[in-house]
Structure 1
Amino acid sequence: MRKLAILLLLFSFGFSWAQEQTSPMVNKKNEFRVDVLQALAYGKISVSYERFFEGSFSVGVNGNFSNSTRIEDDYNNGFRNNIPRYEINPYVRYALSKSKARYYFAEIFASANGGDFKEIVRENSGGNGFYTIKETQYNDFALGGSLGYKMYFKDAFALEVLVGFGSNLTNKEMSPDVISRVGINLGYRF
């Protein structure tokens, strides 16, 4: 009787392992995503590509390009002194859950970002002082971390929720202090 129970246990373990290995998610290594939250709330175009490895790790890159009239109006009316135009974010992720279809993840990212900066400066001309607005462009580099949750539908369509923050490191007097990675992404895994 024990031999039969052990044989059935080994057979069921082997069967479940074979099903896990033949899952369609294991063969799909690439994913493309679009951030709908950034598009609707901020007028940003945000797209991502992710490559999955055999274990729990994946790598990817995200690109953001801003064309928001609301942020542009705030910048032009003096409510903000910088306006981010682009971000390129390479990242490394680690899945915190065992499931391939629904899991939490942690992410470390870097960010190359840039945009426009303006400041009021005092200038002198012929003994008279006056103030002007000086506009320049900035470029900066940031490091940060994120947490998120991802789920798949029909082994191909992804829904991802992501929250993370980083800090600019090199040009702090012109660039934003904090880089945020907040989004709701829709994607396709292939």
Structure 2
Amino acid sequence: MKKILVALLLFSGIVNAQNESTISDKKNEFRIDVLSAILSSKISVSYERFFSNDFSVGLNVNYSDSKKLTEDFEEGYTNNIAKYEVNPYLRYALSKGKTNYYFAEIFTSFNGGDFKEIIREENAGTAVYTTKISSYSDIAAGGSLGYKMYFKESIALELLVGFGYNLLNTDKSPDKITRVGINLGYRF
């Protein structure tokens, strides 16, 4: 009877020790931004790789083909419409918790879409105004702040707010790039 009791105590100690260290052993995370999907019909997915308790790197990819944004673009409410973004980032944990913490992030955004402008053309002495649509691509740099928490050491909920500025093609691209999201993910 004593041997069974000792075996059960050892087994429960091993199980508890494994449960406490599992989040540190999981180095990969995949997330989907539910806020962007609901508000702007944008598909936004992220992958993050953890190197230590403080640092991680990741890649976020966005694609948008929203009917509402396209209508606003076509009706002249905006002169550019973002179609895609690819955002590599580096994160640093500002607090020391493993299952919930604040973080700071720096990112680069490779983004592109369509640009619309009204141009004046002269044809045999008559001026005609036409709408010209062209594509743009640009690179932005920026920063974000966020909060992440885990449920059952695998399910992630992340809140993120940040912005950056486009640097190269500013006559056609939007001035600012935003990174705002409520992400749900899985750490493995």
Fold equivalence (TM over 0.5): yes
Aligned partners of 2:74, 2:133: CA distance in 1, in Å? 11
Runs (4+) of structure 1 exceeding 4 A deviation are: 19-22
The one-letter amino acid of 1:32's match is F
Aligned partners of 2:119, 2:51: CA distance in 1, in Å? 52
Aligned partners of 2:126, 2:76: CA distance in 1, in Å? 25
Match of 2:42? 44
Structure 1: runs of 5+ lacking an equivalent: 1-18
Partner of residue 51 from structure 2, selected from 46, 50, 53: 53
Match of 1:181? 179
Aligned partners of 1:40, 1:21: CA distance in 2, in Å? 35
Spell out, residue by residue over 1:134-157, the C-alpha distance to the aligned partner (whole angstroms, 9 max, x if none). 110000000000000000000100
1:23 match: secondary structure = helix
Match of 2:6? none
2:96 match: secondary structure = coil
Give the alignment's TM-score, normalised by structure 1: 0.88
What is the RMSD of the two structures over their aligned residues, measured on CA atoms? Answer: 1.5
Match of 1:110? 108
Match of 1:3? none
Alignment of 1:1-190 (within 5 A): 23-190=21-188
Cα distance change on mapping 1:49 and 1:181 into 2, 3 Å: same
Give the alignment's TM-score, normalised by structure 2: 0.89
The one-letter amino acid of 2:39's match is A
Spell out, residue by residue over 1:1-44, the C-alpha distance to the aligned partner (whole angstroms, 9 max, x if none). xxxxxxxxxxxxxxxxxx69951011100000000000000010
The alignment-based identity, stated in percent, is 62
Aligned partners of 1:55, 1:66: CA distance in 2, in Å? 33
Cα drift, residue 54 of structure 1: 2.0
Cα drift, residue 125 of structure 1: 1.0
Aligned partners of 1:103, 1:139: CA distance in 2, in Å? 34
Aligned partners of 2:19, 2:88: CA distance in 1, in Å? 29
Aligned partners of 2:53, 2:179: CA distance in 1, in Å? 24
Aligned partners of 1:71, 1:34: CA distance in 2, in Å? 21
Aligned partners of 1:33, 1:111: CA distance in 2, in Å? 18
Aligned partners of 1:186, 1:55: CA distance in 2, in Å? 20
Aligned partners of 2:177, 2:122: CA distance in 1, in Å? 36
Cα distance change on mapping 1:187 and 1:107 into 2, 3 Å: same
Spell out, residue by residue over 1:29-79, the C-alpha distance to the aligned partner (whole angstroms, 9 max, x if none). 000000000000001000000000124000000000001111111001010
Aligned partners of 1:45, 1:70: CA distance in 2, in Å? 15
Aligned partners of 1:62, 1:131: CA distance in 2, in Å? 39
